Amino acid sequence: MKSKVLSALLLLSSLSLMAQDNTNIVQHQHGLFATVSAIAADGETRVSLNVSRGSDPLTGQPSTLVFFDTFVETDDGFTDTFGSGTVPDNTITGDDPAHLVLDIDTSQVTTLTITSCTFSFATFTQSCGSPAASTIHLEWRQTKTFNAHISSDSQQTFSQVRINSHQVSDTASANVTGSLLGLDINTGDGSAGVNHNSVVTITRTN
């Protein structure tokens, strides 16, 4: 099944690239950031999220960027939901990466774009739309099981998006609890730290 999902992801990505022009988001990252990667409490949905403080490269104005992805297999394919955009700075509370809280009401944030796409193996078709408004509430508490100074360049490709990042950061492991779009997260593996002169580019392909 994993090989089928991987093949479908690659094919869906190709379809999406032909579907419409790309939309780019760029952030210069300097300041607090937090990440989570987990299996939701339903035991089936894979969840990942990244939130970071920084600035808009064009205006130099402060910005807080969030992007997230949820992925779950269906009877004949999978459903992938991706969200990205800037959010008000006060959606993150806590000025120390030792303890951070993220609160977002998607019905109140017009700069956040969320798209849910379902792909069918049976018909080799996809259907996409905007999910109903929901909330994100996540809390990070550093465990410091590991501490690291990171300098890296990476590219991640999902079914709806490509993410390129140059990251220089000081980070530590964190336990993450809360919920994302109605999905409960009880024991998420995460990290929280501080970025230094990092850059992330999010290119939507769908």
Query: Model confidence at 204, in pLDDT bands (50, 70, 90)?
Result: confident
Per-domain boundaries in the chain: 2-204
Convert the pLDDT of each residue in 150-162 to its tens digit.
Answer: 999 999 888 788 9
Residue 173 in this model has a pLDDT that exceeds 90: yes
* Secondary-structure breakdown of the chain: helix, strand, coil percentages, each rounded to the nearest 5: 10, 65, 20
The DSSP annotation for 23-40 comes to EEEEEEEEEEEEEEEEE-
pLDDT higher than 50, residue 10: no
- The pLDDT value given to residue 160: 84
- Please state whether beta strands 23-39 and 183-204 pair in parallel, antiparallel, or not at all (unpaired): antiparallel
Give the tokens for residue 203.
């290119």
Rounded distance between C-alpha atoms, residue 175 and residue 194, angstroms = 17
In this prediction, residues 142-152 reach a mean pLDDT of: 93
Q: Contact at 8 Å (CB) between 89 and 53?
A: yes
Q: Under DSSP, is residue 16 helix (H, G, I), strand (E, B) or coil?
A: helix
Q: How many CA atoms lie within 13 A of 136 on its CB side?
A: 28
